[in-house]
Chain A
Amino acid sequence: MTSGKPPLQTGPLTPERDENEPREGGADMEQRKMQIDSGGGNCEGIDARLQAQIGQKLKAMYDEVAQAPIPDKFLDLLEKLNSQEKSK
């Protein structure tokens, strides 16, 4: 724990953590995954680690596209549709 590595498997188990957790909404979900991720170590921990890993990969896959610049073809199309609307 003295190194800079994140504690992947050694986090303490906190079985009571489910009690106060928010259950709804995207942001809450993310937070929940992170909480689960910090409590690994046994078989359940493996699943929680996997879940957290999957969540991160999903988000990364989505963000990679969501943060890419908009291709010109869409801007051109919008321009065209918009001028068609106007001329109606």
Chain B
Amino acid sequence: MSNESVKQGFIDAIPNLRAFAVSLCGNLERADDLVQETMLKAFKNIGSFQEGTNLKAWLFTILRNTYFSELRQLKREVEDADGMHASRAAVHPAQHGHMDMCELQDALKLLQDDQREALVLVCAAGMSYEEAAAIAGCAVGTIKSRVNRARAKLSEIMGVTSAEEFGPDSATEAILTHRVGQVRSA
């Protein structure tokens, strides 16, 4: 593979890599750091790329591996710091009114990382289940069930968030208001 075609392949993949990274980590700045790291790693390991296979999928794989290993590192640090975990878990995304981009990003953060990844690959990046499974390094069936669980969880979160629009269940509403109140007063 010539340098020029590698370079062009990278340029073509960057917009999607950025979008994938933002959807995974929820922050454009961090996403761009991930994309940069991905490019550095990819150039360093270009010898292990099999010519004729999907360069975009290869780059996606490097990016998600980078993201997940950083996440594992971060989680270890957070667990070491006393009380940090509890305060993070208390952040509730619910805001009354309509679901907007911010709420979706907040809601995505509440998903398990592997479920969020599967959802983004299949429902946002337009990958097939097979491609998503290859990128995430798991079975096709696993991807399917992760996507299903992610969608169910999101719809649970969003359903509560947009309860007004769909006709509120007063019990849920009361709990929600209470929780939002707790977070806001914290």
A residues adjacent to B (C-beta < 8 A)? 24-27, 29-30, 46-47, 50-51, 53-55, 57-68, 70-71, 73-75, 77-78, 81-82, 85-86
Contact = CB atoms under 8 A, between A and B. Distances in A.
B158 A53 contact: yes
A59 B39 contact: no
A59 B43 contact: no
Contact of B15 (A24, A65, A73, A86): A65
Chain B at the A interface: SS class: helix
B32 A71 contact: yes
B129 A25 contact: yes
B142 interface: no
* Interface size band for B: 35 or more
B15 A61 contact: no
5 contacts: A26-B123, A50-B162, A54-B151, A61-B124, A74-B14
Interface string B124-160: 1111111000000000000000000001001100110
A28 to B, nearest CB: 9
A85 to B, nearest CB: 5
Contact of B104 (A25, A30, A54, A66): A54
